Structure 1
Amino acid sequence: MDIFSKNYWSLYINFLNDFEDIKYKGFSIPYLYHFRSLLKGNEKLWDSLYNQAFTAKLPRSITENREIQIVFNEFVQSHTNEPLERNKNGIVIFHDVYNLLKLPQKTFIKYFNSSQVMRLYEGGNRRKTKRRTKAKSYQNIRVINDRDGNGAKRMKDNKKANAAGSIPSVKYFSEFSVDTRKAVENLTRKANSIIKKHHNHPLYSQESFKKVFFLQLSKIVNRIEESANLLELFPVSCIVVPSTHYPECRTLALVAAEKGIPTICMQHGIISSEHGYLPKVATVDAVYGQFEVDWFKEKGAADETVEVIGHPRFDQAFEKPRFSRLQFNEKFGLAPNKKNLLIIVRGNKDIDSWRLFIKKISKKLDINILIKDYPNKRPHPLSKEFPSVHSLLNVDLYDILPNVDGVVSYPSTVGLEAMLAGKPIFILNMDFPGSAGYYNRLGELSQNDANQLGDIVIKYFGKEQMIRKAQKVTKDFLSYAYPVPALSGKRLRKLINRLTS
C-alpha cells in the first residue's frame, strides 16, 4: 500500500470514529458519506497525504487498505436483516444517479417484465407532498426539478416507450419525502460540537469540509426517510444501483438491507483507482471479470459478495454496426483511403503528453486521427493544432468503434469496450496513488511515456508481427478481464432470480 493510500484510509477510519455518534434512525451517519468529496478544495491536505509523517497526527492508523472494507463488512452486517427476503413476485428497482447505470432500453425489453420493474431517479417533484398510504396513488408524476438535467428528455422517451408498453414505470425520490428539517438541525448542532473539539484538525477545521459535510448530512437524512417510505409502500424484491460510493445509493442499499431486501451494485467503469470503489456495501457487486473478483477479495470482501456478469451496455459491442465505413468516413470528412485511429481524452488533462504522442505518430503514419473527448461537447484544442486530427462530436462510442482500426486511451473503460469490439487498444498509462493497475496485463501495449507509446503504435501499423502479438495480448487480457460467454443482460436477470427465488 502506497503512503498516500495509507494516509487516506487512516483519515477515513478516524472520520468514522470521530462522528460515530451522529446517528439517525439507527444509522451512524458518517458511514453513509461520500468521503472523498469532503477533501475537495483542501489542497494543503491533499499534499500532506503524501507525507510519511501524516498518520502520526491521527489517533488511529491502518497498515493495509483491507481494514476499511472489514470495518464496513461489520457495519453492513449489523444492518442486515437475515435471511434475506425471497420475493420473486416483487418489484425490481433500478436506481440511477449521475447517469452511471447505463442500462440500454433493450435490456429492459428483452429480459424484464415492465410491470415488475421500477426505474428510480433523483430529482422530480420538489414540492412538499403528504405521504401517501397506497402505492397505486403514485401515477403520472410531473417533473418540476431535475438534478441531472435530463428530465425533459427522459419524459419524452418514457412517453413513447410506455405507450408501447415496453419499459417500466418511472418514480422519483421526492415523491417519498417528508419534512426532516428539525432532525437535520439537531444533528447539525451535535456535529458542530464535535468539529469544535477538533478545531486544529487538518480536515474538520476547513470551511470546504464543513460546507460539504452539512450538505451531505441533510441529503442522507432525507434519503433514509425517502428509502424507508418507498420500501414500505411497494413490495420490492431486489434493488439494482450503479454505485454504492455516493450517499444517494449507499443509503438506499443500507435501508434495504434492514428490510431484508438484496441489492446488486453494477460496475459502472473499470476499477482505475481503489478510492472510487472501496468500500463496497451491496449484497452482491456485479462485476466485469475475474480481475474485480480477485481485487475485491484482496481488499477484504467476502467471496459470495462478488459475481461476474459483465455489463449489459457492453452487449452493444456484439451487435451489427449502424454505419458502414464509407458512411462513417463521409459523415466526418475522413480520407477514405487511410486508416482511422481513435484517441480517447478527458478534456485538457495530460494534453502535453497527447500532443507529444500525436506529433510522434504523425511523422511516421499517414492516418486519420480521431479524438473523442469526455465530457466536453466542443472540438478538442488538439484538433485545431493538427490537420490530421478530427474531433468526434455528438456520436455514440458504439457507432465509432466498428469504423476505426485502433484505439488509444488513458486508463478508461473505453479501452475494455474497444477490445470487446475487436479493436487493438493502446493505453497511455498514468501512475497515481491507489492505482489498481487494471491495464498492466497489456504489457508493452500500455506505456507511461507518450513517446514510447507512439513507437508501439507505429510498429503496430507497420509490422504484421506486431499485429499478431497485439491480438494475442488482447485475447489473453479479455479471458481474465471479461470472461462472459453469454450476453450480460441475461446474466443480470439470472442473478436477480437467484437472489429473489
Structure 2
Amino acid sequence: MNRTYLLNYWTLYTEFIDKFKNLKFKGVPLALMTNFYQQIDEELKRKMEHEDFKKLFLHQITSPEQIQPFFEHWLNPLRKPLISNPTGKILINSAFIKIPEKTMTRIFHKDNAIILSNARVLNQLGLPNEYIGKYKENTKKDSDSLITEATNIFSDYEDHPAFGNDFFRKVFIERIPMIVETIATVFNIYKKHQTLSVVVGTTEDIVSRTLVIVASMLGIPSICLQHGILMGEEAYLPAFASYMAVYGEYEKKWYEERGLSNNRISVIGHPRYDLIFTEKHLSKQFFVKQFKIDPHKLTLLIATGPHLDLRKFGRLIDLIATNSKYQIIIKPHPWEIGKGKYNFYLKLKSRYKSIEVITNRSVNTYDLLSNVDGVLTSLSTMALEGLLFNKPVFIYDFINNNRNRSYDYYESFDRFIQSDPDILVNVLNNYYSDPNENESFNNMKNQFLATKYKVKNAGKSLSNLIYELANIRSDE
C-alpha cells in the first residue's frame, strides 16, 4: 500500500506540473512552488491507494529512481552555472533552520552572514536580521491574472480525479497570491544583497523553496539541510537546492535511489546536534533537585508525539510506573504543548507519584537527555538524540496516522522497537537486569550510528561546504 500510494503520488505530481507548465511568474512555474501533498485530501488519498489509479495517466512514475530526474527536466532550464561571489553574504532563512544561537554564532560571523525572517528585529540567532516583509511589492494584478488562467486550466479537467477535486483546486488557487508575492520578494532580496550562498532548513515552506529556485536562476549556490529523520518521502523530495546536506550514509543512499546525483549530496550531519558534543549540560546534582528526582531509581525520559494511540501509551506508562525501580519524566511534543493537548499526561501524573510531566518549553531537552538512564520515544529524532547521548533507547511504534507509511529508518533496532507495550516493557526490564541485553543494545547502537550519524562537528562541515561551493577557502 505504501509503495502504491507513493508512486501514484509522484505520477499525479508529474501530471500536475505538465498540465500547468505554462502558468508562470517571472519565469518560475507555479506548479513547482506549491507544497503538493497539502493539496490532497482524504478522499483523493483513498483513490491513490489503489493500483489502478495510475492507469488514468499517460506518464507514470513506476520506480523511485524516476522521481528526481523528472523534476530536473523542469528545473534545469531555470538554472544558470554557479558563480563565485567572494564579497557576498551568506543568506540563512530562519524558518526550520533549527540551529541554536550558540552554534550559529560559532559557524557564521555577523560581517558575512544575514538571517532572513518575518521578525521586525535587528538581530536574530546572534546575526543581523533582515525582515523579509520590507521587500514585498504589490503583485495583486499579476496574481489575479494567474488565478484566472489557473481556473481556466482546471475547467478543462472537471472529470479528472485530482483536478476535478474541489479541495485540490481550492488549495492551489488560494496559494497563488502568496506564491507570486514570495517570488517577487525573493528577487528583490537578491537585488539588494550580493549573495555568496543561501542556506535553508527545508524546501517545504514557500519562502525557502523560492529562495533556492530563484538562487539557481541567478547562479547562486544553495544548501538545504535535512530538517528531520526521513519519515515522509513527500517532505524531502524533490531536491531543489544545489546541495542536499544530510545526516549520514543512509540518507545519501536514499536520495541516490530516488534519482538524485550523488555529487549533489553531502554527508555533514546537522549543526542542531553539535551541542550534544560541545556543550556542558545540567549537572546531576541540579537535575535531581530541579526535577525532584530520586537518585536511587532509574529515570526514564518518555517523549511523546501527536497522533499517538493513547490506549497503548497509557498501558505502557501503567506497566512502567507500577515498577518501583523506575521513575518517569514525560516530555510532550512541542506541538502538543502549543495546542494544550497534554491533559492525558497530566492525568497519568496525578495517578502516579513517580511521574513528572514537563510542559515548560524553556526546559532544555539536552539537559534531560544527559541525565536520564534511558529514553522511550516514538518514531522521532529524539531516538537519534538519545543514542548520540549514549543512552539506551526504546521505541514505541504507536502512531495512529501512519496509513501509506512503512518507516525503515529504525528497523535495525530489532526488539528495541515494538508496537506492543507489554513486549516493549519486557525488553526494557531485560535491559536493566541482563548484562547480555546491555551488550546487545550497544552493538545495535554502534551499527546504527555507523550509517545514520557519525558527525561530531556539523557546523564546521557546513561552513566548509558553503565555501567549497563558492570556490573560496574557509578561514574557519
Per the normalisation by structure 1, the TM-score is: 0.87
Listed one character per residue, the Cα deviations across residues 124-156 of structure 1 (whole Å, up to 9, x for unaligned) are: 5xxxxxxxxxxxxxxxxxx3xxxxxxxxxxx49
| d(CA) in 2 for partners of 1:91, 1:103 | 18
Change in CA separation of 1:320 and 1:103 when aligned onto 2, cut-off 3 Å: closer
The code of the aligned residue for 1:454 comes to V
Partners of 2:299 and 2:403 in 1: CA distance: 30
Amino acid at match of 1:17: D
8 Å CA contact 1:340–1:404 kept in 2: the answer is yes
Q: 2:428 aligns with which of 457, 466, 485?
A: 457
SS of alignment partner, residue 119 of structure 1: strand
Say which SS state the counterpart of residue 169 (structure 1) adopts.
strand
Give the superposed CA RMSD. 2.0
1:87 CA displacement: 1.6
1:320-350 superposed Cα distances (whole Å, 9 cap, x missing partner): 5432223223222333321111111114522
Contact 1:177–1:225 at 8 Å: present in 2 too? yes
Higher mean C-alpha deviation, range 402-411 or range 58-67: 58-67
Q: Measure, in 1, the Cα distance between the counterparts of 2:51 and 2:336.
A: 37
Counterpart selection for 2:174 from 207, 215, 221:
215
* CA displacement at 1:436 relative to structure 2: 4.4
Map residues 103-182 of structure 1 onto 2, 5 A cutoff.
103-121=99-117, 123-124=118-119, 143=120, 155=121, 158=123, 167-182=126-141
1:239 equivalent to 2:210? Answer no
1:213-269 Cα shifts (integer Å, max 9, x gaps): 123211221121111111111110100001112322111111000110000001111
Instruction: Indicate whether 1:373 and 2:335 are aligned.
Output: no
AA aligned opposite 2:102: K
Cα distance in 2, alignment partners of residues 396 and 49 from structure 1: 41
Q: CA–CA distance in 2 between the matches of 1:10 and 1:360? A: 46
2:357 pairs with 1:391: yes
In 2, the alpha carbon distance for the partners of 1:321 and 1:457 equals 28
Q: TM-score, normalised by structure 2?
A: 0.91
Query: 1:495 aligns to what?
Result: 465
How far apart are 1:85 and its partner, in Å? 1.0
Equivalent of 1:326 in 281, 285, 290? 285
Deviation per residue, 1:372-412 (Å, 9 max, x gap): 11122254513413413321122121111011111111110
Measure, in 2, the Cα distance between the counterparts of 1:464 and 1:432.
Answer: 38
The aligned counterpart of 1:440 is 411
Distance apart, 1:105 and its partner CA: 1.5
Deviation at 1:80, TM superposition (A): 1.2
Q: Secondary structure at the match of 2:394?
A: strand
Q: Which residue is 1:425 aligned to?
A: 393
CA contact (8 A) 1:85 1:261 kept: yes
Q: How many aligned residue pairs are there?
A: 458
Contact 1:5–1:434 under 8 Å retained in 2: no
Kindly provide the amino acid, as one letter, of the partner of residue 409 in structure 2: Y
* Separation in structure 1 between the aligned mates of residue 406 and residue 224 of structure 2, nearest angstrom: 21
Match of 1:30 in 2: 31
Structure 1 unmatched runs, 5+: 125-142, 144-154, 162-166
What's the counterpart of residue 140 of structure 1?
none
Name the SS of the counterpart of 2:51 in structure 1.
coil
Contact 2:64 2:257 in 1 (8 A): no
Provide structure 2 residue ranges, at least 5 long, that are not aligned to the other structure.
none
Q: 1:456 to 1:170 in 2, by over 3 A?
A: same
Q: Which moved more, 1:428-437 or 1:214-223?
A: 428-437
- Pairwise CA distance, 1:421: 1.1
1:479 matched residue in structure 2: 450
Q: Which piece of structure 1 moves more, 86-95 or 233-242?
A: 86-95
